[in-house]
Structure 1
Amino acid sequence: MEIENQQSIWLGRSKGSDDEIGDVFAGFTEDATKHLKALKALGHIESEISTAKPERLMLRLLDVFTNKGDLVLEVMSSTADLTAVALKSGRRAIALQGSSERDKSITSGCAIPRLRAVLKGIDQNLEDKIPKARISKGSYIPYAGGGSLATAVVGPEIAVLLADDDHATLTDALSSMNSHELAEAILTAEGYLPPAKGTDLALAISGKEKALVVPPERYLTPELVSAIASEAAADADPRPTHVYYFRATDDIDEKSFAGRVSLRRIPFDLLRLDVA
């Protein structure tokens, strides 16, 4: 979609009846407030804030700057206004929230349950369900549901790869982690899902690869690599296994394990972002 000759001022609503969808252009802050209050009254969210932005405005911005199917990034989204409308209008979205206690409260009480209500198809016909809310028809985007939602917490920075450096350097964040936390931090930074407790293997987000981390107090030896390769060969799962390690003996012949196991030394092979 290509939109030209944008107005520098967008009216919230044209003069005349405010009950028709066609009369709503960009909406008002009160539209967003009433929308969230209605969701709260129906028990779909626990809290709302007065700085939410009207969905009609968000849709105008999305139509101007993106196409359907695009990935939209909403930074410090609070009530996930842009993300909600992105999902409703055929876009994908990532919403970044802050880490303060207030941010966490808004995220858990408003943003996440609001997005769940959208995906379940609950965010529609609010003007009929709660007439007292006096929601103007067309002031929000009704949605019949569909899609999926995943949440994640960003952990501490564990490695840095500067533009002029050949390899990454580790930060002090790993020093206070136990073996499982360390493996989880390294693997998720490399594009893998967190390994389940009690297991060593983690799957790539794409599902096409596996990986494990050998803890720093343990040397990677030919015997250990052979055991990992044998387990990979015996497994019905054909996906290759990537072994992340801190230190190793000098007598490992990586070529003999090609196709089954590949070795990646920490920190030198981190942050390459080549997980298929």
Structure 2
Amino acid sequence: MSEGWSAWPAPAKLNLFLRITGRRADGYHELQTVFRLLDWGDRVWLRLRRDGRIERHGGSVPGVAAGDDLAVRAAELLRKEANVALGADIRIEKRIPAGGGFGGGSSDAATVLCVLDRLWGLGLGEDRLAALGRRLGAEVPVFGRGRGAGAEGVGGRLRPLSLPPAWYLLVDPGVHVPTAELFRAPDLTRNSSPATISDFIAGAVLDNAFEPVLRRREPAVEAAFAALAQVGTPRLTGSGGGCFVEFADRAGAEDALARLPRRLRAWIAAGVDESPLRAALAPRA
């Protein structure tokens, strides 16, 4: 990249389980989940502008107009709310597959908010940035705060959660079903019993409410689950088609990856308690 650009991580996430425990009077669903951040994801390039404009470069997200790009919207929202005269150039190196449930768009937005807060000299702090992020999407504050977390409600109640080391074998079946469409599915379970964190830690809670719906309607997701079942216990992340199997060490994940059919888009990543973005933003001694 040319002079003035800086590169920042935008890590992916997994939902280690996801339940719908009810529906509110306003129509929103009550969710319960655990977010696990990964050491792999997109890379966001940013460059300061003095003219107040927000410009996206390189067609950052295929098929997404600049005005709909969460990263651009994050920059515009921060500039407006903080009444900043500065602007920014944005370029995204996409590695996280769109619509897979790995949180790519939300993570890109969180990285833009957190880094521009620094580049523009705002110092808004974690809580104010999280509040802005929530206006862009329920998952943006998870990435902005940069820690694994349990979440309840419609995504606003986050509880930091430290998890044991783990490696994940990830598969993207290439399926992208709009989340709103899945929430309307008649066979979606909307009244699961709330889980306890102790049940989750003990391994008794691994389900995802969207898994049976997607497996029934999307052959590619069902095929990915069948392949992953040969090497472990497959799970779905979020409301996308992305699937994963958890392993205690890298060697186990790499061995499983080598045993998968080559036609699958598969790779491995490590779970982290602290986001690579949070580490990158930390003051250096």
Q: TM-score range by the shorter chain?
A: under 0.3
Structure having the larger proportion of residues in strand: 2
